[in-house]
Amino acid sequence: MGSIKQNYANNVLTNGKFDATDLDGVIPNTNINDNSIDNITVFGTAGAGIPSVASDPPSPTVGDVWYNTTTNAFKYAGVGVGSWASGGNLNTGRRTYDNAAGTQTDGLVFSGYTTVAVGNNELYNGTSWTELADLNTARYVSMGSGDVSTAAFCAGGINTAPSVIANNEIWNGTSWTEANDLNQARYFGGSSGSSTAGLVIGGETYAQTESWDGTNWTEVADLNQDRIIMPGTGTQTASLAISGKNGPGTIAYTNVEEWNGTNWTEIADVNTGRATGGASGTVNSALAIAGNSTVYTNIVEAYDGTSWTEVADLATARGNTSGLGSSSLALCSGGTTVPGANVANTEEWTQGLSVQTITAS
């Protein structure tokens, strides 16, 4: 094995493996028998922050790393296989158009369309939905978002007149309050962010983006591709606009754009173009959920910050639906299964973990 650096000798076992429980440093190539390895960086408990344990932790989170002293191996928790499970039904089945806020176990879905525009507002507790105070103005194909269930905005859309509206309402966990209008009345756009730092993206015949600071809307940079009925996800300064189309009867785009707070940039396309779907997550870790390609689909794709990968399908193919939560814990609620057939069912996405052994290659 070559010369052994001082203080490392007692860490080389008879089977050629390293006992790394008290090591911290770099073992150079001259000390390693396998010439395919340039060097080994050893992270021991002493000063390195990686724990040594006799057995793998029972509930790790993605990104955790540890050294198993029983198997003499470094391990980490990576992303595993995800799946969808049935959740509680909405009280009012409707097309929800991605107007949602909060998390998988504390989520809000508001506005929509049954046979007319509605202002219904419902809260999910991880098991069932409860009716809360309605919007002041019933509407559908509006743009609404929020990072928590107690704070959201709902802007634009089509009301019961019907007419395209610009008005904006803010939810405080108890009631909706009228706030300053959008600069441009619009519908069928995307949205992201919170009740004090939001974004409205595109919409019917528009590529315009408007940014909300809790008081006023400000025109900011346009999308590169004008589009409608595409979901948005993320924050006011870091968002995705996913797929969509440019009018009724047109083929859905596959392109996706990322917002950095100043400009939109084209990034990796989804595998299946679709409109009227839902989305959840961040610019580096997102889900594109269901939608309408040539037919209503149950396809779900996950984004890792670089590319989109198809993951487990929904049980119910649908469009005009909503997504909320993260890329690992999400909800898909409401929507349409065939033209005119609204649904109330909810599906819950859970991304599992996979414990992997770190090996040299």
Q: Is residue 361 part of a domain?
A: no
Give the residue from 61, 79, 97 where a domain finishes.
79
**pTM flag (> 0.85):** no
Domain range for 185 is 81-352
Expressed in angstroms, the distance from the first to the final Cα of the chain is 19
Claim to verify: residue 88 and residue 56 sit in the same structural domain: no
**Amino acid 48: pLDDT:** 56
Q: Is residue 3 part of a domain?
A: no
Claim to verify: residue 94 and residue 28 sit in the same structural domain: no
State the Cα angle at 50 between 44 and 54, rounded to 5°: 80
Structure confidence by residue, pLDDT tens digits, 285-295: 999 999 998 89
CB atoms inside a 10 Å sphere around CB 245: 22
CA distance 312 to 318: 15
Structure confidence by residue, pLDDT tens digits, 29-68: 555 454 444 444 444 443 357 888 998 888 776 678 888 9
Strand order of the sheet with strand 151-155?
A: 143-148, 151-155, 168-171, 176-179
Claim to verify: residue 55 and residue 92 sit in the same structural domain: no
CATH value at residue 161: 2.120.10.80
Q: Is residue 290 part of a domain?
A: yes
8 A C-beta contact, residue 354 and residue 80? yes
Nearest to 258 by CA among 278, 275, 288, 282: 282
- What is the token pair recorded at 250? 């047109």
- What is the token pair recorded at 317? 């193919």
Claim to verify: residue 198 and residue 251 sit in the same structural domain: yes
**Number of domain units in the chain:** 2
**Amino acid 167: pLDDT:** 97
Q: For the chain, what is the largest distance between any 2 Cα atoms, rounded to a whole number of angstroms?
A: 84
- Range with the lowest mean pLDDT among 150-154, 178-182, 353-357? 353-357
**Amino acid 28: pLDDT:** 52
8 A C-beta contact, residue 353 and residue 90? no
Claim to verify: residue 85 and residue 67 sit in the same structural domain: no
pLDDT reading at 92 higher than 60 = yes
